[in-house]
């Protein structure tokens, strides 16, 4: 006859099943967190530098972007231009402030043309989003899609956000730059500049 397994004094009054300790789950290895500023080897990555804001007199960088029609447009094509929310640049299509700004450029578009300037809207929205906004608001000017904020970075110095602004480009060089403007002031200020310079 075999003897029952020996029980400790601590477990003497408990049923045998309770005395058997449940196996502990295997410990998971600690997850190593990789910070966004390190590469696959854990080495520190150099931070992406903002190209810096263009100054009046600087030429536009050589870039090719897409229009609201999905066509390529080069910054060389923006030789005599007003850009809102900049060459006109706006933070986001189809929002209240941007629509106000866009409508004022629409309503004064003929005056810009008379001053021999083209008007462009610039944002990081997709060409499709811009095309829908343009059709809805009946904008007569071209909207430019800059999803990677390539031109926006050069115009504003900000790689991660779009400030409502406007710019005038004359003979391929920045002639006027106003950052963080109110929607209602953007078109009149741009128009006054092109009519007087």
CA 125 – CA 144 distance, rounded (Å): 9
CA 68 – CA 176 distance, rounded (Å): 24
CA 93 – CA 87 distance, rounded (Å): 15
For 1-28, b/e burial (b = at least 16 CB within 10 A) is eeeeeeeeeeeeeeeeeeeeeeeeeeee
| Neighbouring residues of 104: CB distance < 8 A, sequence distance ≥ 6 | 183, 184, 186, 187, 188
Name which of 157, 50, 73 is nearest 122 in CA terms: 73
Q: CB of 143 within 8 A of CB of 133?
A: yes
Is 15 tagged catalytic?
no
Task: List the catalytic residue out of 78, 98, 122, 155.
Answer: 98
Q: CB of 161 within 8 A of CB of 42?
A: no
Helix (H, G, I), strand (E, B) or coil at 18: helix
Q: CB of 104 within 8 A of CB of 139?
A: no
The residues assigned a catalytic role are: 98
């Amino acid at each position: 006859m075999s003897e029952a397994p020996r029980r400790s004094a601590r477990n003497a009054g408990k049923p045998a099943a309770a005395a058997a300790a449940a196996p502990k789950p295997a410990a998971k290895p600690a997850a190593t967190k990789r910070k966004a500023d390190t590469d696959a080897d854990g080495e520190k990555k150099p931070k992406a530098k903002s190209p810096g804001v263009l100054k009046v007199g600087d030429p536009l960088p050589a870039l090719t972007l897409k229009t609201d029609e999905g066509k390529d447009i080069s910054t060389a094509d923006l030789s005599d231009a007003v850009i809102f929310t900049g060459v006109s640049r706006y933070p986001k299509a189809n929002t209240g402030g941007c629509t106000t700004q866009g409508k004022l450029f629409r309503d004064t578009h003929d005056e810009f043309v008379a001053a021999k300037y083209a008007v462009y809207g610039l944002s990081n929205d997709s060409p499709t989003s811009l095309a829908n906004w343009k059709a809805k608001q009946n904008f007569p000017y071209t909207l430019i899609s800059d999803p990677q904020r390539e031109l926006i970075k050069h115009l504003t110095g900000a790689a991660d956000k779009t400030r409502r602004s406007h710019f005038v480009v004359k003979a391929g060089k920045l002639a006027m730059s106003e950052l963080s403007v109110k929607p209602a002031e953007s078109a009149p200020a741009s128009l006054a500049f092109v009519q007087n310079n």
